[in-house]
Structure 1
Amino acid sequence: MQIDDADRRMLRHLQADPAISTAELAERAGLAPATCWRRLEKLRAAGVLKGVQAVIDWARLGYAVRVSLRVTIDKTDPRAFDEIIAAAREVPEVTEIQTFLGRVDLRLDILARDMAHYQELFRTRILTLPHIADLEALVHVADIKTDEALPL
């Protein structure tokens, strides 16, 4: 989909304030509210705008440990990727699953209340995932940059 300057202005304002009302967005982007609404609908239909989500500070809700697991899969079984991904999706504490090309095949992000909770998850839910050849755990220490916005 081709976007023009008006779309870029709208997207810049949405990145800065995802909860902005359509009327306020129209005003900031220099558009009529009806035009802004139609453009938003086109961006949604084209898949450019996937939605608006709440960003939760999990540490404030008692989930103090974040771990990123780098997983290398035993690829001798052609169903390995599908099976490990399906099994990982069943673990509620796995908040993100990404696939890669290279030495690491998957990355699983895990939230746990504390290290004891993580250890229990690791032993009972992670190590039982199928087709794991190797794991590397990276324990999160601090967020340095989490902004997903890009210049438009």
Structure 2
Amino acid sequence: MLDDLDRRILRQYQADPEAGTAELAERCGATSATVWRRLERMREGGILKGVEAVIDWQALGYAVEVSLRVTLDKTVARAYDDFLIAARMVPEVLEIQTFLGRVDVRLSVIARDLAHYQVLYRDRILTLPHIADIETLMHIARVKSEEALPL
């Protein structure tokens, strides 16, 4: 379980993942050695899974984001497995989520423009296996996008 110091370290690390151990220690009111040991323990415990680069796909020329709600043909035994394997092969699919309920899978897809999306949809998405129904939701605005946890 995390104690107060662990939470302070995580809050500061979340706010500035490029900060060094000494800087984190100063912000948290602890020694560098203590912060280093705590971070190592959290890495070993699977709490910290790594540091990643966040790339702005819009800055790379992708202007369209679409969510696709997919219902699969559940009469096919391997429908989920086959669909997920094939969907992972589409580079423009950024995220795949599975659900219980009427919608089985949600895909988050990006495209350079609507013409690119139309080709992508027709040639790559609609050819994914075992689709029974698909609903397209065009993103208009991102109102909130928060990666930080409430620690």
TM bucket (normalised to shorter chain) is: over 0.9
Q: Which runs of 4+ in 1 moved over 6 A?
A: none
Give ranges in structure 1 of 5+ residues lacking alignment: none
Rounded Cα–Cα distance in structure 2 between residues aligned with 1:119 and 1:41: 47
The equivalent of 2:97 in structure 1 is 98
SS in 2 for 1:34: helix
Q: CA deviation at 1:78?
A: 1.8
The equivalent of 1:29 in structure 2 is 28
Amino acid at match of 1:122: Y
Percent identical among aligned pairs is 68
SS in 2 for 1:44: helix
Rounded Cα–Cα distance in structure 2 between residues aligned with 1:88 and 1:142: 25
Rounded Cα–Cα distance in structure 2 between residues aligned with 1:89 and 1:69: 14
Query: Are 1:67 and 2:46 an aligned pair?
Result: no
Amino acid at match of 2:13: L
SS in 2 for 1:128: coil
Amino acid at match of 1:56: I
The alignment yields a C-alpha RMSD, in angstroms, of 1.0
SS in 1 for 2:37: helix
Query: Are 1:140 and 2:142 an aligned pair?
Result: no
Give ranges in structure 2 of 5+ residues lacking alignment: none
CA shift digits 1:39-87 (9 cap, x unpaired) = 1111111111112222222111100001111111111112111110000
| Match runs of 1:2-151 below 5 Å | 2-151=1-150
SS in 2 for 1:123: helix
